[in-house]
Structure 1
Amino acid sequence: MQQFIQISPPSHKAPPHGFALLNLGFRPFFLFAAAFAAISMTVWMWKYLHFTLPPLFYVSASQWHAHEMLYGFAFAVIAGFLLTAVKNWTGVATLQGWPLLGLLLCWAGARSLMLFAPEWALIAAGLDMLFNLWLILAVALPIIKVKQWRQLGVLSKVIFLTLGNMAFYAQALGWTASGARAALWVGLLLNISLIMVISRRILPGFIERGVKADVTLKNASWLDNLLMLALVVLLLNLLTVESATTNIILGLAIGMGSSLRLWRWHTAGLWQVPLLWSFYCGLWLINAGFFMFALSAMENSISPIFAIHCWAIGGIGVITLAMMARVSLGHTGRNIHAPPRSVSWIFGLCIAAALCRVFLPLLLPESYRLSVMLAATCWIAAFTWFCIVYWPILSKSRIDGSPG
């Protein structure tokens, strides 16, 4: 992981003019994931406002929407990150050129069908499974080649996400009577788990290198292991007995444990660096999601939908934007300490989307529909703006002339 956060020094060479979108995995998948995040939310809002549901008979409209965000948008960001990170971890080249385009087209084909022609879900399922399995091979082979077995923990999460995706399609196609609910909990909590694992590896180093003060941040292995164990138990509980008491205890335990970890990572200088405070805020929104989830398990309390959107918008949405913004700069030879000025607004819009979707309806329940519309507008604006700002960065060759 240390290799992944090392950034090439700025170069004074004239930037090459070649089209480089297929040079490395982060380029097409970050760009298309962000575009899909905006487009899919626009389609969902149109259906939400006009009460037109996708023609899927065996899953609900909200399950269809959740699937596309977790197994469409978020999985694409994971693909871009891992194809790039594994190359740096192992020193072995990952997909590029035509093979990378083939992987992208499998993902894009599945997303297009599920978004605009869900009655063709069988073909979408085939394309999605091809994308998932191809990605697993593309990530696994370099890891196995250099015997970096410690990276198999990250790979295992991709495998479980693939199994969850299969379970969703099995119900969507009418092959099983259930599966979609479990698939969505697997997709949501595995994405959160992956974010927590990766952030534990990289965020302390980002903060130490990104703030002006000389700081050394510490991690406690016992806390990291305890948080992952609690997440596994929470997921198992949701998939089996669904004990409300267990949900309350684990929600509070994970929220407090993760809050302790973030408190230990805090330094005042991070609030001056957009690529740090965005990541940090996203992790706090994940914590808030665990506390709200615990609250939702209590009788006569709030709906779990608020915790789910706190995780999904505030956690997955904000942190993927922060990660994509940083990786795209560092791995194109640009200065991560001088990002485009607009990134603060982009991050702010996504945080505003989380606040509108989660906290506004709690304060003003009579304005629920308005809060959903405001949240969607902020989300669409954030990811559209990211595409506009980062298109030239992701589509042009590295400014230092290096490959990638």
Structure 2
Amino acid sequence: MQPLTISPPSRKVPANQFALFNLGFRPFFLLAACFAVLSIGLWVWKYATHSVLVLNTVTASQWHAHEMLYGFAFAVIAGFLLTAVKNWTGLQTLHGRPLIGLVTCWALARAVMLMAPYLVALAAAFDGLFNLWLLIAVARPIIQVKQWRQLGVLSKVLLLSVGNLAFYSQALGWTNQGAHAALWMGLLLNVSLIMVMSRRILPMFIERGVKEQVTLKNSVWIDRLLMVCLAALLINILTANAEILNTVLGHTISVSASFRLWRWHTPGIWQVPLLWSFYLGLWLINLGFLLYALSFLLPSISVILAIHCWAIGGIGVITLAMMTRVSLGHTGRNIHNPPRSLVWIFGLVIFATLSRVLLPIVLPDFYRLSVMLAASTWMAAFTLFTIVYWPILSQPRIDGTPG
């Protein structure tokens, strides 16, 4: 795969132009961060006050998980892919009014689910349109230039769209198990997409980002083993859900992915926040698979801890790492001189992971405290990202070129 960089075109644009809808990463990264704060804030309020969700077809926890996986995470995926596909294919992706239309569909679905979930049919319509529009927007240029190697990424977007429909099938009262299938699909497909993309780009980022000269290699056999095991785990969870198979697959993925990360390690990454954040996020994903396997062996470890290790530590940390890097590089800024606040942004969300995952194991009597600490530091991290990156995402490239 080509690096996620776009060669600056020769045409200049006015420096004072509002640029939020010039390229997909700009509105989706900014709105995803805002939504990460609003959604968790609302969830904490419901958790603290024991509020009952208006919908009686899905639980409050399922509603919360759906909005984070198919609302927050899907927005980050949309922003990343609309930007990456332009680079991979050399063809322009959505911008201007079409991009505003896509963003509006996403935003309206989120607004309904947060403020008026009893209008779930309306949310389903907007979300379905968003999913379909995004899929067409990223598939068309890939098919036009016949980059068939990107079909694996497209397939995950398609499956996420199917998972989203499965959730709404239960929310609308059409099925009884649609939400269960949708949430496991959303979680493991997001994790799988992160692992696929990190395999492609993180070694290159490390080689170019550290002071020492290193050459990092991937093992085809480890890559294939991880993808087979991830697919097998999802299929097993959605069908037989055999505990012994879940345990074996969880351990296998954790050990194999950890060995791959060990091969990517070089001391220089700890001097670069845009590298160690990505690297630690992948380790937290591996910890999630280990905790998932142990949840079938040790009564003190709940599967909910593994789920939050994947969600906060894996998806949360790595989406922040990717959003901060892409936003700098694609606005013409120097990725080797990022804002100093990034250390706080990454540190807060990593602390949120440890609070939500490890504190309940060490101090089970303080479970409620662990939830509140995790939520507070998560919201603080994404609030800080929004404040720091609003001018970066809304203003034109500093070199005066489109994008």
Instruction: State how far apart, in whole Å, the 2-side matches of 1:65 and 1:15 are.
Output: 42
Instruction: State how far apart, in whole Å, the 2-side matches of 1:401 and 1:293 are.
Output: 48
Q: What residue identity is the alignment partner of 2:277? A: S
Deviation string 1:310-366 (CA, Å, 9 cap, x unpaired) is: 000000000000000000000000000000000110000000000000001111111
Q: What residue identity is the alignment partner of 2:140? A: L
Instruction: State how far apart, in whole Å, the 2-side matches of 1:181 and 1:293 are.
Output: 17
Instruction: State how far apart, in whole Å, the 1-side matches of 2:243 and 2:344 are.
Output: 39
Instruction: State how far apart, in whole Å, the 1-side matches of 2:124 and 2:14 are.
Output: 41
The equivalent residue for 2:103 is: 104
Contact 2:6 2:330 in 1 (8 A): no
Q: Kindly tell me: are residues 8 and 262 of structure 1, through their superposed partners in 2, closer, same or farther at Cα, counting changes over 3 Å? A: farther
Other structure's SS at 2:4 match: helix
Q: Kindly tell me: are residues 8 and 208 of structure 1, through their superposed partners in 2, closer, same or farther at Cα, counting changes over 3 Å? A: farther
Aligned residues: 402
Instruction: Map residues 252-401 of structure 1 onto 2, 5 A cutoff.
Output: 252-298=251-297, 300-401=299-400
Q: Kindly tell me: are residues 191 and 300 of structure 1, through their superposed partners in 2, closer, same or farther at Cα, counting changes over 3 Å? A: same
The equivalent residue for 2:30 is: 31
Contact 1:15 1:400 in 2 (8 A): no
5+ residue gaps in structure 2? none
The equivalent residue for 1:202 is: 201
Contact 1:15 1:398 in 2 (8 A): no
Q: CA deviation at 1:306?
A: 0.2
Instruction: State how far apart, in whole Å, the 2-side matches of 1:297 and 1:161 are.
Output: 27
**1:65 maps onto 2:64 in alignment:** yes
Q: CA deviation at 1:299?
A: 5.6
Q: What residue identity is the alignment partner of 2:2? A: Q
The equivalent residue for 1:190 is: 189
Q: Kindly tell me: are residues 117 and 280 of structure 1, through their superposed partners in 2, closer, same or farther at Cα, counting changes over 3 Å? A: same
Instruction: State how far apart, in whole Å, the 2-side matches of 1:299 and 1:209 are.
Output: 42
Q: What residue identity is the alignment partner of 1:343? A: L
Q: What residue identity is the alignment partner of 2:344? A: W
Q: What residue identity is the alignment partner of 1:177? A: N
**TM-score, structure 1 normalization:** 0.98
Q: Kindly tell me: are residues 164 and 303 of structure 1, through their superposed partners in 2, closer, same or farther at Cα, counting changes over 3 Å? A: same
Contact 2:8 2:401 in 1 (8 A): no
Q: CA deviation at 1:275?
A: 0.2
Instruction: State how far apart, in whole Å, the 2-side matches of 1:7 and 1:370 are.
Output: 48
- Structure 1 consecutive aligned stretches of length 4 or more whose deviation exceeds 4 Å: 5-9
Contact 1:361 1:367 in 2 (8 A): yes
The equivalent residue for 2:55 is: 56
Contact 1:244 1:298 in 2 (8 A): no
Instruction: State how far apart, in whole Å, the 2-side matches of 1:138 and 1:103 are.
Output: 10
The equivalent residue for 1:2 is: 2
The equivalent residue for 2:117 is: 118
Q: Kindly tell me: are residues 254 and 157 of structure 1, through their superposed partners in 2, closer, same or farther at Cα, counting changes over 3 Å? A: same
Instruction: State how far apart, in whole Å, the 2-side matches of 1:299 and 1:245 are.
Output: 13
Instruction: Map residues 191-230 of structure 1 onto 2, 5 A cutoff.
Output: 191-230=190-229
Q: Kindly tell me: are residues 332 and 270 of structure 1, through their superposed partners in 2, closer, same or farther at Cα, counting changes over 3 Å? A: same
Contact 2:102 2:133 in 1 (8 A): yes
Instruction: State how far apart, in whole Å, the 2-side matches of 1:129 and 1:377 are.
Output: 31
Instruction: State how far apart, in whole Å, the 2-side matches of 1:44 and 1:125 are.
Output: 20
Contact 2:226 2:253 in 1 (8 A): yes
Q: Kindly tell me: are residues 342 and 299 of structure 1, through their superposed partners in 2, closer, same or farther at Cα, counting changes over 3 Å? A: closer
Q: CA deviation at 1:53?
A: 2.2
Q: CA deviation at 1:173?
A: 0.8
Q: CA deviation at 1:8?
A: 6.3
Out of 121-130 and 13-22, give the one that drifted further: 13-22
**TM-score, structure 2 normalization:** 0.98
Instruction: State how far apart, in whole Å, the 1-side matches of 2:271 and 2:109 are.
Output: 40
The equivalent residue for 1:138 is: 137
Instruction: State how far apart, in whole Å, the 2-side matches of 1:8 and 1:387 are.
Output: 25
Instruction: State how far apart, in whole Å, the 2-side matches of 1:72 and 1:187 are.
Output: 10
Instruction: State how far apart, in whole Å, the 2-side matches of 1:322 and 1:56 are.
Output: 34
